[in-house]
Amino acid sequence: MAFVATSIPFSANPRPSPSLKPFNPFSSFTHPLSHSISTIASVFRCVRISSSLPAPNAPNATATSTTFPVTVDTLVPRFGPDEPRKGADVLVEALERQGVRHVFAYPGGASMEIHQALTRSDIIKNVLPRHEQGGVFAAEGYARASGLPGVCIATSGPGATNLVSGIADALLDSIPIVAITGQVPRRMIGTDAFQETPIVEVTRSITKRNYLVLDVEDIPRIVKEAFYLASSGRPGPVLIDIPKDIQQQLVVPNWDQPMRLPGYISRLPKPPGTAHLEQIIRLISESKKPVLYVGGGCLNSSQELRRFVEFTGIPVASTLMGLGSFPCTDDLSLHMLGMHGTVYANYAVDKSDLLLAFGVRFDDRVTGKLEAFASRAKIVHIDIDSAEIGKNKQPYLSICGDVKLALQGINKLLETRVKQQGFDFWAWRVELDEQKVTYPLSFKTFGDAIPPQYAIQVLDELTHGNAIVTTGVGQHQMWAAQFYKYRRPRQWLTSGGLGAMGFGLPAAIGAAVANLNATVVDIDGDGSFMMNAQELATIRVENLPVKILVLNNQHLGMVVQWEDRFYKANRAHTYLGDPSRESEIFPDMLKLAEACGIPAGRVTRKADLKGAIKKMLDTPGPYLLDVIVPHQEHVLPMIPSGGAFKDIIVEGDGRTSY
């Protein structure tokens, strides 16, 4: 039987958790982003965190990459102004004052006081993960989908170390999260006490900053600084480690303590000068084959980017992290570039004479062989992080600053110029259109087998391209990047720099909490899904309408692809099924879902796929669809690691010997 469904009783109108109740019953397709964030922002006084310093003549100007609401004016105090309260209660109120509505926290001995304090808050809801790694990935999903800092909390020792992968992931992908850990009492630090780990030392190189709180009176200032650091400049993770005796100590908090970040604030980039922006326009006017290369740094500048493209007519190639900053459905979109990018995006960069690199870091999965990448082009590099300028590729012109401000400035200059004399890149666009026709993204079908690429195409069709998509890491991740057409920023959530398997399911939890009325789909591989499958329990308990599309090939697909291409197809522990029962699907995803009370189905034939995906989307609440796909499929195109555009592979799969 091609389609198998498990029958799990599920109410069409489950009783949601109090603070997870949707604000409006909008259609998830016509209103893909929940009004929860905007509603919160309308209630609370908003503080805008700037990625750069205001212009000298505009003291009140802001250059906003992140906005989060602060509840100072609307907080209902639980304590009198001069009433002592525990450090843990001070921490929770400090989070409330930063506009935090949800945390992803797993309790333990060293963090119990924090959890007790959370039960006394009417503002903050804890979404209980089933593993600390699930909690930090959920906080990342929340931050990626909303643009607001995500918050996760864990206990000391193994609880804290379980956060490490998520913290590293947030650093590499520039995601604002605040991780809070319990610690053994101060007198026991350094004694190898039970569940003691020096998490500040462990995470020193993978955070923007971390704190060990040694004075309870510092909590208000440290929390304020942590959110500022996480959200300003180049966003990233900040860790706060709080000993248990600090959590228990009584104090009357001083909420008016100033931040102590003079060095950091002084180094925030200033708005770009007009002379530099005019030079960029001059380079564009002198160019014949310009290309925009946009990354995750453009996610907060989507509107300005679109306006810039309207003025110039320059085609846009996106990194994996930048997908959605410019609509993939636009005629000027070249989709993704890099190792598994489109032929025409990589062709455009290879043949370009001007590369406008905005909000990118010239990652090795994009550039391949550095000497050959954009070797004919003058490079203009704009990035908020000075460390990225010239790190991998030397630019002809660079601006260290907020891409949003730079684009606003350029667009203002272009408004006058375009009225007088526009740009003409018609011949270049025709050349690229020919490449699109010659080398489209495509796949083959073998009998009744389901091509994984087709499954994502069908999902894109049935959701009208409006779903928020999360993924694990591997082949399914690349196919989701290639075949789903992202139309807006913060719609595509994936682990890019670290490539952390197990990211997709908990990230979908965070995205669903941040956007209650959205359709959230975790496109996962069986390998990645199993790494955090325990979070099915969280989804069920929180009644989150997360849809899980597992592309199940019973293998570690991307490693298998490399084995096929470079290791003569020698299988080295990449089969994930049961070797004694190769004809059966193992493990049985339907039973895993059933164990957590989640409806599930399995589809094995292409003809049944559309109906199965439609049922998944139409089923109220969560649903898991196990899509059985061939393990021989390869992600193409592919530029081998360290290769150049001339080395691109466009044909073949695991059915062929190399």
What is the reported pLDDT for 581? 95
As a whole number of angstroms, the distance between CA 85 and CA 620 comes to 43
Place of tokens 């907020």: 402
In this structure, the strands spanning 237-243 and 177-183 are: parallel
User: How far does the chain reach from its first CA to its final CA, in angstroms?
Assistant: 35
CA distance 274 to 185: 54
Phi, psi of 12 (to 5 degrees): -65, -20
Provide the pLDDT confidence category of residue 283 given band limits of 50, 70 and 90.
very high
Evaluate if residue 429 carries a pLDDT over 50.
Answer: yes
Q: H helices of 173-313, where?
A: 199-202, 219-231, 244-248, 262-267, 274-286, 302-312
Question: Do 158 and 483 meet the contact criterion of CB atoms below 8 Å apart?
Answer: no
Query: The whole model's pTM is what?
Result: 0.90
pLDDT of residue 73: 63
Which pLDDT belongs to residue 27?
34
| pLDDT of 275 over the 70 cut | yes
- C-alpha 214/C-alpha 224 separation (Å) is 16
Structure tokens at 460: 């894109």
Omega of the bond leading into 637 within 30 degrees of 0 (cis): yes
Partnered with residue 353 across adjacent β-strands are none
The burial of 19, by beta-carbon neighbours within 10 Å (0-12 exposed, 13-18 middle, 19 or more buried), is given as middle
Average pLDDT, integer, range 587-614: 98
Q: In sequence order, what are the beta bridge partners of 48? A: 67
- Mean per-residue pLDDT for 200-220? 98
Query: pLDDT value at position 68?
Result: 45
SS3 419: helix
What's the CA gap between 524 and 576, in Å, rounded?
15
Q: What are the residue ranges of helices labelled H in 158-258?
A: 158-161, 164-172, 199-202, 219-231, 244-248
Q: What is the 3-state secondary structure (H, E, C) of 339-402?
A: CCCCHHHHHHHHHCCEEEEECCCCCHHHHCCHHHCCCCCEEEEEECCHHHCCCCCCCCEEEECC
- 656: three-class secondary structure by DSSP: coil
Please give the pLDDT value at position 72: 60
Residue type, 595: A
Q: What is the mean pLDDT of residues 612-618?
A: 98
User: Which band of pLDDT confidence, cut at 50, 70 and 90, is reported for residue 421?
Assistant: confident
* 31, pLDDT greater than 70: no
Residue given tokens 């994996």 in the structure block: 320
- CA 3 vs. chain centroid, Å, equals 32
- The two three-digit tokens of residue 581, written as one number: 């029962």
Preceding peptide of 579 cis, ω within 30°: no
What confidence score (pLDDT) does residue 396 get? 98
Q: Catalytic residue positions?
A: 132, 194-195, 244, 558
Q: Cα–Cα distance between 525 and 550 in angstroms, integer?
A: 5
Residues 94-112, mean pLDDT to the nearest whole number: 98
> What string of DSSP letters covers 402-415?
-HHHHHHHHHHHHH
Most distant CA atoms of the chain, gap in Å = 76
Query: Is residue 324 over pLDDT 70?
Result: yes
* Residue pair 211/241 in contact by the 8 Å Cβ criterion: yes
- Please tell me the predicted confidence (pLDDT) of residue 16: 39
What is the band of 108 on the pLDDT scale with cuts at 50, 70, 90? very high
Q: Which of 655, 497, 594, 596 is nearest to 5 (CA)?
A: 594
Give mean pLDDT, residues 79-89.
96
What does the pLDDT look like over 51-66, one tens digit per residue?
444 333 333 333 333 3
Query: What whole-number distance in Å separates Cα of residue 199 and Cα of residue 184?
Result: 11
The one-letter code for the residue type at 8 is I
Q: Is the pLDDT of residue 590 over 60?
A: yes
Q: What is the pLDDT of residue 77?
A: 85
CA dihedral 461, 466, 342, 437 (to 10 degrees): 50
Structure tokens at 313: 């007519």
Residue 268: its pLDDT value, please?
A: 96
Mean pLDDT of 466-476: 98
**Reading across the β-sheet that carries 125-126, which strands appear in turn?**
125-126, 102-105, 150-154, 177-183, 237-243, 209-212
Stretch 363-386: mean pLDDT = 97
Average pLDDT, the chain: 90
3-state DSSP assignment of residue 253? coil
Nearest-CA neighbor of 92 among 261, 211, 242, 232?
A: 242
Beta-strand runs (E) in 588-637: 600-603, 623-628
116-132 pLDDT, tens digit per residue, is 999 999 999 999 999 99
What distance in Å separates the CA atoms of residue 66 and residue 149, rounded to the nearest whole number? Answer: 9
Helices 504-514, 132-146: axis angle to 10 degrees equals 50
Confidence of residue 418 (pLDDT cuts 50, 70, 90): confident
